[in-house]
Structure 1
């Protein structure tokens, strides 16, 4: 049954069928072909994940991010990042990285971040004399930091398949997210210095930095509030997501006074569409998971890894390689939901902490977002910059190096994630 499902899924992907539909068709066909599962049970398995209370956090976090990113706050964040690092070598590239890190604490979505920030910062960098390929590369790679900085949608999805604490995942993801940001800023600095990129010489005064911090403070505080509320046990993730929407509404109405009915309507429609896409993948993955569990695939794979590779170091390496390959062809949510159950079983077999495993999975699959042939943020950056994919990939190799270094540290130094 698993072989039939995998074959059909591969064919459908090759035919460019959307992932969610491909998963449902492949799993449904495999179940009908096998004949061991009643149709009613298959339908129940398909819709069962939609009844999960923690998953309600996803649309609320998406809505809060849409409300805050689409208004004046987005401009204030860019001004803050420019005042903070714009005067250094590769300053405008560093502005993109800083902006991505802060926006990650608002949106939780790498794709939303690449679209919102890229539309602002890529044309700006091109006007100032930065190569279009480099501008797209910075945006494509740094936007994936949103997969780690709370409120991370991928981490919420991982918690649903692993039963790991969302609060613990959010806390553990802050350090690797900041490490990625620091490494990418270093790449921008060295590139700017070696290639003599322009700098923002008008952002040299500390007064401008202080003023921009005050104007961007509502966004800077949001991820801090999320982590504190969760770690202190004051609210559940779903309750925190509702608080985040209320916070975004207050900031837009009272602080910036830029919330209009048109903006609210646009944010709501965008949230419904994005949530629908995510939930389609979640329901489809539940059906696939039923097929895999029925045939004991996670247990068999975990036992095979233990018996064949023996060493935990090699098993972790194998998991990373598989995730890197899968991430090149599947979007992050689908990959997490498909690989999560099997890798959690392997992690339990070798004593790998589920929090550490969750950080590994998110970093690994985030790399796939800016890796050909189907890198989502890579295509977004190239489309906005209006350059070929190849020109962007040439500029991406130092960013890959940074991401791989952080991935290795998170994979083999548990103290960095379970501190």
Structure 2
């Protein structure tokens, strides 16, 4: 049954069928055609995981991000980032990284961030004399920080797969996200200095800087607000997501005063579409996980890894190599839901903390988002910049290096993320 499912899944992918549909059809066929389960029970297996209370956090976090990102917030954040780092070498690249880091604490979605920030910053960088391919590279690489900064949708998905604490994952992800941001800013600085990219010569008074900081402060406080509520145990992640929506409505309606019926409707439509895509993958991945688990695949893989690789450090290296490869072909949510049960079994076998495994998976699979042949943020950014994928990939070399260094640190220095 497992073999038939995997063969069908690969064939559907080769036919360019969307991942969610490929998972549903191959899993359902494996259970109802090749397995002992009737079609009605197979459908129940698909429907069952969508009825999880913690998963309610996903649509509410998506809605809060859509409400805040669609108004004046983006302009305020870009203005603040320009004041802070625009005057340095590679300044506009650093503006992208700072903007991505803050936007990540609002949206929780790398693709949404690449689209929103890229449409603002890439044309600006080109007007200032930056190569379009470099602008696309910075945007595609830095936007993956959203996959780590609270409220991270991938981390919520990993928590559902592994039965880990969403709060612990959110808190543990902050330092790796900031390490990625700092490393990418350094990469922008050295590349800008070596290639003599133009530097912004904007002069701002202290009063203007204070005013810009004050107007951007509500957005800057969003991830802090989430982490504090979770760390203090004041609210559950689902409750925090609902509070985040109320916070977004208050900020947009009272502080920025740009909340309109059209914006609310557009945010709701975007939330429904995005949530539908995520829920489809969750439902499909559940039936795949059931088939793999009933066939003993996770336990067999874990036993093989322990017997043949033996040393935990080698097993962690093998996990990273596998994820780097899978991330090149599967989108992040699908990869987490598909590989999660197997990797959790391996982690339990070698004593690897599940929170550390979750951060490893998110960092690792995030690299796949800006890696060909199926890098989502890479394609979005290249399309905005109107540059060839090959040209953008060449500019990504220093950002790949930064991401790999951060991945190795979270893999082999657990003290960075486990407190």
> Where do residues 65-144 of structure 1 align in structure 2 (5 Å cutoff)?
65-144=65-144
> Where do residues 219-238 of structure 1 align in structure 2 (5 Å cutoff)?
219-238=219-238
Q: CA offset at residue 32 of structure 1?
A: 2.8
Distance 1:209 1:399 in 2: 30
Counterpart contact for 1:87–1:204, Cα < 8 Å: no
What is aligned with 1:379?
379
1:163 and 2:163 are equivalent in the alignment: yes
Distance 1:387 1:12 in 2: 30
Counterpart contact for 2:149–2:170, Cα < 8 Å: yes
Distance 2:325 2:285 in 1: 19
Relative to 1, partners in 2 of residues 1:312 and 1:270: Cα closer, same or farther, differing over 3 Å? Answer: same
What is aligned with 1:310?
310
What is aligned with 2:411?
411
User: What TM-score results when the alignment is normalised by the length of structure 1?
Assistant: 0.99
Cα distance per residue 1:71-105 (max 9 Å; x no partner): 01111011011111001110000000000000000
Counterpart contact for 1:142–1:181, Cα < 8 Å: yes
What is aligned with 2:8?
8
Cα distance per residue 1:118-158 (max 9 Å; x no partner): 00000000010000000000000000000001000000000
What is aligned with 2:350?
350
Distance 1:81 1:203 in 2: 14
> Where do residues 25-44 of structure 1 align in structure 2 (5 Å cutoff)?
25-44=25-44
Stretch moving more, 291-300 or 38-47: 38-47
Counterpart contact for 1:147–1:362, Cα < 8 Å: yes
What is aligned with 1:191?
191
Cα distance per residue 1:211-265 (max 9 Å; x no partner): 2211100000010010000111100101000000000000011001101111111
* Residue ranges of structure 2 left out of the alignment (5+ in a row): none
Stretch moving more, 205-214 or 304-313: 205-214
Counterpart contact for 2:32–2:42, Cα < 8 Å: no
Q: Secondary structure at the match of 2:396?
A: helix
What is aligned with 2:337?
337
Distance 1:317 1:210 in 2: 46
Cα distance per residue 1:11-52 (max 9 Å; x no partner): 111111000000011111212332322333211110111110
Q: CA offset at residue 207 of structure 1?
A: 4.0
1:288 and 2:285 are equivalent in the alignment: no
Counterpart contact for 2:149–2:173, Cα < 8 Å: yes
Counterpart contact for 2:28–2:43, Cα < 8 Å: no
Distance 1:208 1:347 in 2: 51
Counterpart contact for 2:114–2:139, Cα < 8 Å: yes
What is aligned with 2:201?
201
Distance 1:207 1:339 in 2: 51
Cα distance per residue 1:339-358 (max 9 Å; x no partner): 11100110000000000000
Q: Secondary structure at the match of 2:33?
A: helix
* Residue ranges of structure 1 left out of the alignment (5+ in a row): none
- RMSD of the alignment, in Å? 0.9
Stretch moving more, 201-210 or 62-71: 201-210
What is aligned with 1:260?
260
Counterpart contact for 1:86–1:203, Cα < 8 Å: no
